[in-house]
């Protein structure tokens, strides 16, 4: 964290309310702590982690109050509690005439927007972070709700050009509508490269669409590689993974403790790894196809070259900076990419460095959030 107490010129934003998460979200919290005179951060976690919610208040970069709170796991009570807590925060932290920007990722904040604007001097920024494809009636209603509120707000950002185009009919880049992807903050991690001890890292919440089971097939045929899975999943899915690992007899190649690790622990584990992998389902039925995958940015921050599926929001940057390889989900494609990275490792390390300089959160956000300096 920067020492900002004596240099108020760094505080380019007057008053910000920010929705955030304890999961990877592009270092947005640190950025606005560094540069907002007054900042309220409203941290909401998924229902399965309902005890990790917290409200933080900062003044010129200094934390002045932190208030944890719990939400129900019941879906209706979860969102009702979320919204009521939000209104309480507005009432407590802002006077009627005090202008501020509210940067939010979820349409629940827009409920009663016209009344909110009478009650408080609020200007919303809708940072659209996802798009859910499909014909399920709930998904259709949710996406229509997002588009409705998107049309009501003055300022919108999008974590990918794909979402930008979906919301606007074309990709916009102006003072009110623009793509703002997730920024990175590179970590100074030193690791040794040993071609005979090549560890591959997987980080994040484990779901069905992330290609791990395919990778077990690959490990069964390629004993020179090892995999570290850092993340957790529900018990039934974990049992499914363990069953396949045992059936293939690759237990000595796979480290999968199925638990959450702190940033410090992740940094230490990553020192043993040489590459990060993200084998998403790369088709339009997968939510990840449309967004900016946090997993990829995490690998980049850790200084790891990346092997990933062709997710169109971020894959062009991986190729542009030569920070990794884009693969099909088959053995020959993956084997070729891994060998290519192993044989040219320093070139890919240099590419990751270029990728990180482009997305460095301090410079990247400053240019894209110019409009927030208006208040």
Please say if the pLDDT value at position 375 is more than 90: no
- What CATH number did the domain enclosing 22 receive? 3.40.50.2000
Same domain for 237 and 173:
no
pLDDT grade, residue 283 (50/70/90)? confident
Residue 88 covered by a domain: yes
Residue 344 covered by a domain: yes
Residue 133 covered by a domain: yes
Same domain for 203 and 99:
no
The whole-angstrom distance between residue 59's C-alpha and the CA centroid of its chain comes to 25
Please say if the pLDDT value at position 5 is more than 60: no
Distance CA 337, CA 324 (A): 9
Q: What is the pLDDT of residues 171-202, one digit of tens each?
A: 999 999 999 999 999 998 888 777 777 899 99
Residue 189 covered by a domain: no
Give buried/exposed letters for 256-287 (b at 16+ CB in 10 A, else e). bebeeeeeeebeebbeebbbbbbbbbbeeebe
DSSP 8-state code for residue 325: E
* Structural domains counted in the chain: 2
List the strands of the sheet with 324-326, edge to edge: 254-255, 225-230, 198-203, 275-278, 306-308, 324-326
Can you give the pTM of this predicted structure?
Answer: 0.90
Same domain for 292 and 255:
yes
Decide: residue 36, CB within 10 A, 0-12 exposed, 13-18 middle, 19+ buried.
buried
Same domain for 122 and 104:
yes
Task: Tell me which residue range forms the domain holding 37.
Answer: 8-183+361-374
Residue 122 covered by a domain: yes
Residue 3 covered by a domain: no
Q: What is the pLDDT of residues 76-92, one digit of tens each?
A: 999 999 999 999 999 99
Residue 191 covered by a domain: no
Cβ–Cβ < 8 Å for 57, 65: yes
Same domain for 208 and 178:
no
Kind and range of the H or E element at 177?
strand 177-179
Q: How far is CA 68 from CA 20, 71, 274, 359, in A?
A: 14, 10, 37, 31
| Beta partners for residue 177, in sequence order | 156
Residue 108 covered by a domain: yes
């Amino acid at each position: 964290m920067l020492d900002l107490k004596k240099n108020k010129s760094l505080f380019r934003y007057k008053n910000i309310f920010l929705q955030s998460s304890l999961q990877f979200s592009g270092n947005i919290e640190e950025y606005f702590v560094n540069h907002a005179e007054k900042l309220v951060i409203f941290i909401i976690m998924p229902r399965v982690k309902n005890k990790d919610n917290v409200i933080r208040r900062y003044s010129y970069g200094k934390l002045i109050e932190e208030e944890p709170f719990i939400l129900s796991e019941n879906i209706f009570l979860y969102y009702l509690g979320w919204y009521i807590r939000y209104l309480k925060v507005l009432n407590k932290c802002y006077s009627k005439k005090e202008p501020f920007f509210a940067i939010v990722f979820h349409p629940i904040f827009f409920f009663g927007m016209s009344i909110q604007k009478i009650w408080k001097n609020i200007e919303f920024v809708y940072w659209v972070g996802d798009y859910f494809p499909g014909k399920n009636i709930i998904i259709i209603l949710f996406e229509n709700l997002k588009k409705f509120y998107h049309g009501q707000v003055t300022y919108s950002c999008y974590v990918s050009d794909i979402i930008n185009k979906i919301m606007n009919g074309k990709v916009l880049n102006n003072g009110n509508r623009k793509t703002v992807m997730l920024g990175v903050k590179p970590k100074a991690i030193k690791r040794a490269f040993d071609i005979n001890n090549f560890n591959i890292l997987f980080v994040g919440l484990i779901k069905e669409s992330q290609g791990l089971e395919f990778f077990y097939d690959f490990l069964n045929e390629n004993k020179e590689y090892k995999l570290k899975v850092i993340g957790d999943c529900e018990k039934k899915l974990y049992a499914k993974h363990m069953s396949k690992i045992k059936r293939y007899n690759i237990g000595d190649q796979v480290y999968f403790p199925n638990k959450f690790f702190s940033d410090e622990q992740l940094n230490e584990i990553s020192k043993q790894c040489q590459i990060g992998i993200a084998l998403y389902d790369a088709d339009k039925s997968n939510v990840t196809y449309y967004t900016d995958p946090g997993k990829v940015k995490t690998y980049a921050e850790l200084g790891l070259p990346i092997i990933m599926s062709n997710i169109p929001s971020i894959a062009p940057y991986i190729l542009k900076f030569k920070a990794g390889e884009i693969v099909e989900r088959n053995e020959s494609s993956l084997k070729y990419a891994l060998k290519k990275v192993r044989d040219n490792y320093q070139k890919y390390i240099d590419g990751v460095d270029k990728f990180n300089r482009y997305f460095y959160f301090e410079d990247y956000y400053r240019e894209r959030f110019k409009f927030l300096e208006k208040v």
